[in-house]
Amino acid sequence: PLLLGVVVLLGYLLGAVPFGIVMARLFGLGDLRKIGSGNIGATNVLRTGNKLAAFLTLVLDAGKGGIAVLIARATVGEDAAQLAGFAAFLGHLFPVYLGFKGGKGVATFLGTLLALAWPVGLAACGTWLAVAVALRYSSLSALVAAALAPVWALLLGHGSMTVLGALLAVLIYIRHAANIRRLIAGTEPKIGKKERTT
């Protein structure tokens, strides 16, 4: 139980690292919270026009979820891996380093799923990508990928991930409330568009 607590706490602390803000600063792009949607994720880094910084944000925000899962799996076991992945996701949403004002969790959700069961993670990434290529909205791609994650878990023989997938999906929907309003109003910017949305 002590080790379980340690890997879950570690997952949270890893997840709380806001790589979007770190990358924006490192690349001299300014304060990400004053750009575009004000969100700390890769989609908003892309609004600065710096594709490399956006790509690194995506990989690192996904990677921190994946690493949290792998550490917990290696030291405790599969149940701990799910808990640590969830903790990393919560860390991204409510980071202690930013006064608990974090992001929307999409990259961390994808990285966590990839590490928990790569076929489910790949299916979620594929879903995101398919919607993004077809419709060019990052938020809508995330909403569809999140909703389908528990379905993919069931269909691909990872039923034990269904509850976690559903929980992550609910939190992703709550965090995308403003995006959902803009999508309905037709004012959500497409991927890479630089306009401010808040």
Binding site for ligand G3P (CB under 6 A): 36-37, 39, 41, 43-44, 104, 106, 138-139, 142, 179
Angle formed at CA 67 by CA 23 and CA 104, multiple of 5 degrees = 55
Which of 37, 112 has the CB closer to ligand G3P? 37
CB of residue 118 to ligand G3P, shortest distance in Å? 21
CB of residue 53 to ligand G3P, shortest distance in Å? 14
Give 94's contacts (C-beta < 8 A, 6+ positions apart). 16, 100, 101, 102
Which of 87, 131 has the CB closer to ligand G3P? 131
Which of 68, 188 has the CB closer to ligand G3P? 188
Give 133's contacts (C-beta < 8 A, 6+ positions apart). none
In contact, 198 and 37? CB cutoff 8 Å: yes
Q: What is the DSSP letter of 137?
A: -
CB of residue 62 to ligand G3P, shortest distance in Å? 11
| Signed CA dihedral, 189, 130, 22, 85: sign only | positive
Helix (H, G, I), strand (E, B) or coil at 166: helix
CB of residue 70 to ligand G3P, shortest distance in Å? 23
In contact, 44 and 120? CB cutoff 8 Å: no
Which of 2, 184 has the CB closer to ligand G3P? 184
Which of 82, 179 has the CB closer to ligand G3P? 179
Q: What's the one-letter identity of residue 96?
A: V
CB of residue 166 to ligand G3P, shortest distance in Å? 18
